[in-house]
Structures are given as structure tokens and as C-alpha cells.
Chain A
Amino acid sequence: QVQLVQSGAEVKKPGASVKVSCKASGYTFTTYYVHWVRQAPGQGLEWMGIINPGGGSISYAQKLQGRVTMTTDTSTRTVYMELNSLRSEDTAVYYCARGSGPIPSKWYFFDSWGQGTLVTVSS
């Protein structure tokens, strides 16, 4: 079955960077886009960006442009999301999610989600 397993919780100081991993299994890794979505405490869902795990196409939410970087490692079937210049408002649970449509169908609903990674930004 499709599984996305994320790295553990992180505590970071303002101005630092965090890198969250998402390891995929149960399907052909390079066939489906992976998205990142975050959720601040008690708040709704915010889309952060999309990556083609096989390389090539990456798009980021305009709000995060310049601070977020998404990468992939096909040898370990893992995608990464790195967020720089952290501030308190970046405190959130970060999710990876699989887009259900096969590449090159970019915009699709999310049929599988990782368990979430809590990133806390605090001095």
C-alpha cells in the first residue's frame, strides 16, 4: 500500500533552517508528484509547493518563494522540504502528500498523506 513516512519533530530558533524528509513506498516513486502542505496550530491547510520526484518540475507557493527548497533523492525514494530564515509563524505541522494523477498531470487531489512533522520555532 502507498505510504509516506516523514522525519521526526524539530525545534528551531528564529533565523535557522529546517529540513523535513518524506520517504515513499508502495508505488512507483517517479510516477506521481509530491506536494507539501502545512498547518499552523489550530489553523487550516496551506499548500507550500510541488515537486516531480524524478527531477525537473518544481513549483512553490508565491508566499514562500525564496525561503523554501524542495529536493528529491530517487535512490532512497525520499523527497525533502527545506525552509530557511524561520520565524515564529512557521511553527506548524508539515505534511507531504501524493498527487493522485500520474505525471505529467500536475494538479490533482491528494490521495495519500504523511503522518506530519511538527516544526516549532522558538527562541
Chain B
Amino acid sequence: DIVMTQSPDSLAVSLGERATINCKSSQSVLYSSSNKNYLAWYQQKPGQPPKLLIYWASTRESGVPDRFSGSGSGTDFTLTISSLQAEDVAVYYCQQYYSSPTFGQGTRLEIK
């Protein structure tokens, strides 16, 4: 199985400031024939299922605010929230779907 490792485990950021979450895979999730990275980001709030934010490493899901962006390729990926809002408090997960899906351990984002 591909192991996904996120950093940090928790993060406190002031409102309006930038939040950055990293995700590293134990092997490349870039599919060479399509040149696509099989990497997604989800947001989960308490008592709710995960919500898809980003797929193909950098494509924003419809309806997701443009302050959320994804970047990276191969084994190293980043989720950035450009200007933190109160409603962004949540746990964020990266997921690879290059093979049988695996998730990072999650990053808890709080307001400083």
C-alpha cells in the first residue's frame, strides 16, 4: 500500500493568514500516460462526512472557494488556504487514488 504522511499534525493560524498543509506519498502517484497526479484533498468538520476540495492534485471541486488551492507532483503535495476564514476550521486529509486508496493521518486546523 502507498503510505501517505501529512505535516503538521495540527496547525493554528490567525484569521486572514495563510495556512499550508503538506502531504508526502511513499511512492509517486503521477500516472505517466495521463500526466495526472492521483491525489485529492478533503475537509472534514465534526459530525460530518469528508468533503472533496481538490482532485488531480490541483483541480478545485465545483463550489469550493478559490482561497483553497493544491499544488505538487510525484510524491510531494501541498494544500494552501490563502486567507483563513472561521469556517475553515476542520481536519484536512490527503488521499491517493493511484492504487487502492489510502489517506494521510489528517491535519487539524484551528484559529490562533
Asked if A45 lies at the interface with its beta carbon under 8 angstroms from chain B, I say yes
Whether A107 contacts B101 by the Cβ 8 Å rule is yes
Asked if A44 lies at the interface with its beta carbon under 8 angstroms from chain B, I say yes
Task: Name the distance in Å between B97's Cβ and chain A's nearest Cβ.
Answer: 5
Whether A44 contacts B103 by the Cβ 8 Å rule is yes
Whether B100 contacts A108 by the Cβ 8 Å rule is no
Q: Which residues of A contact B105 (CB under 8 A)?
A: 44
Whether A44 contacts B104 by the Cβ 8 Å rule is yes
A:30-46 near B, CB below 8 Å: 35, 44-46
Q: Which residues of A contact B99 (CB under 8 A)?
A: 107
A35 to B97, CA, bound (A): 12
Q: Which residues of B contact A35 (CB under 8 A)?
A: 101
A:103-123 near B, CB below 8 Å: 107-111, 113-116
Q: Which residues of B contact A114 (CB under 8 A)?
A: 49
Q: Which residues of B contact A47 (CB under 8 A)?
A: 100-103
Main secondary structure of the interface of B (DSSP, over half): loop
Q: Which residues of A contact B102 (CB under 8 A)?
A: 47
Whether A44 contacts B100 by the Cβ 8 Å rule is no
Q: Which of B38, B52, B98, B100 contacts A110 (CB 8 A)?
A: B52
Asked if A59 lies at the interface with its beta carbon under 8 angstroms from chain B, I say yes
Q: Which of B51, B55, B106 contacts A44 (CB 8 A)?
A: B106
| Given contacts A114-B49, A116-B49, A109 and B103 within 8 Å (CB-CB) | no
Whether B49 contacts A111 by the Cβ 8 Å rule is no
Chain A interface residues (CB < 8 Å from chain B)? 35, 44-47, 50, 59, 61-62, 95, 97, 100, 107-111, 113-116
Chain B interface residues (CB < 8 Å from chain A)? 1, 38, 40, 42, 49-52, 55, 61, 93, 95, 97-106
User: What are some 28 contacts across the A-B interface (CB < 8 A)?
Assistant: A44-B103, A44-B104, A44-B105, A45-B50, A45-B93, A45-B103, A47-B100, A47-B101, A47-B102, A59-B100, A62-B1, A95-B49, A107-B98, A107-B99, A107-B101, A109-B40, A109-B52, A109-B55, A109-B95, A109-B97, A110-B40, A110-B42, A110-B50, A110-B95, A110-B101, A113-B51, A114-B49, A116-B49
